Amino acid sequence: MNNFHIALFFLIGIVSSILFQISVASVVSTGNFNKDFYVLWSPTHVNTSADGHTRTLKLDQQSGAGFASNQMFLFGQIDMQIKLVPGDSAGTVLAYYMASDQPNRDEIDFEFLGNMSEQPYILQTNIYADGFGNREERIYLWFDPTEDFHAYSVLWNLHQIVFMVDSIPIRVYRNHGDKGVPFPRRQPMSLEATLWNGDSWATRGGQDKIDWTKGPFIASFRNYNIDACVWKGNPRFCRVASHVNWWNLNNFSTLTSPQRRWFKWVRKYHMIYDYCQDNERFQNNLPQECSLPKY
């Protein structure tokens, strides 16, 4: 075998190794909470069905509870069906989010703020990038999220982060890193869910406290899907666009025309707070991304 053939076989080996690593970079979750997640705290307040397909978190005067994914991810899409705490849930907070484990953390947050009975539920979203947040948006949900399960999703790729409710985009945060705007793109994140006492701020700025006689407070989860790049220590495999890492394909670099129409509908009829409109808070010096395109 001459040097050319040796070099060719060596090159083929390298390419095969890269393709293999790319092919195993993504995961479609098992659908079993016991296999894909571990309990963060208070296992007595976490209840999982015998088949592992449904899970509840409980909050009472003793404790809240939480769980987190066994794996960490860099880009992908996550979906979780959630039924929120029913009745008078004032002061409770159900958080469903992705978070890194570094001091200058990245986060992609859904936070469901408990409410007084008969009042609409508030969904707050937030994004931390390189350790800084203060990017809250709030909407009223257009349905009662305590009566049935609804899907809450995040699409996260190199181009954008899209928050979705039942496939309707409610928020978009674009990657304007080329203009100096922080964007979560380097740190892998785990998927977590927690239920806890937030009555110092969650409902009417902390005016409405938890009524423990209405407890215990229970939130339910089912039918989750994690289709994301599993962190193996090398970000380049997660940045590749392929049929496996489909979220990095050009088709998902911006909202589609129908998605834009839904997005505008949410912002027109259901948004109640946008940090990009809070000049008083930022002393007329809004964050840079507020003046840049959302899609």
pLDDT by position in tens, the chain (length 295) = 555 444 444 443 444 444 444 444 567 688 999 999 999 999 999 999 999 999 999 999 999 999 999 999 999 999 999 999 999 999 999 999 999 998 899 999 999 999 987 788 999 999 999 999 999 999 999 999 999 999 999 999 999 999 999 999 999 999 999 999 999 999 999 999 999 999 888 888 888 899 999 999 999 999 999 999 999 988 888 998 888 899 999 999 999 999 999 999 999 999 999 999 999 999 999 999 999 999 9
Among the options 107, 137, 192, 289, which is catalytic? Answer: 107
pTM for the predicted model, two decimal places: 0.90
DSSP secondary structure code for residue 44 in this structure: G
Residue type, 98: M
| Domain 29-291 fold | Jelly Rolls (2.60.120)
Q: DSSP class of residue 289? A: G
Per the annotation, the verdict on 111 as an active-site residue is: yes
Choosing from 111, 137, 192, 289, the catalytic residue is 111
CA torsion through residues 38, 40, 42, 46, sign? negative
CA distance 211 to 220: 20
Domain ranges of the chain: 29-291
Where in the chain does DSSP place strands (E)?
A: 26-28, 37-41, 46-48, 54-59, 65-69, 73-83, 92-99, 107-113, 122-128, 137-140, 150-156, 160-165, 168-174, 190-197, 217-230, 271-274
Q: What is the pLDDT of residue 18?
A: 42
The full DSSP string for 107-133 is: EEEEEEEP--TTSPPEEEEEEEBTTB-
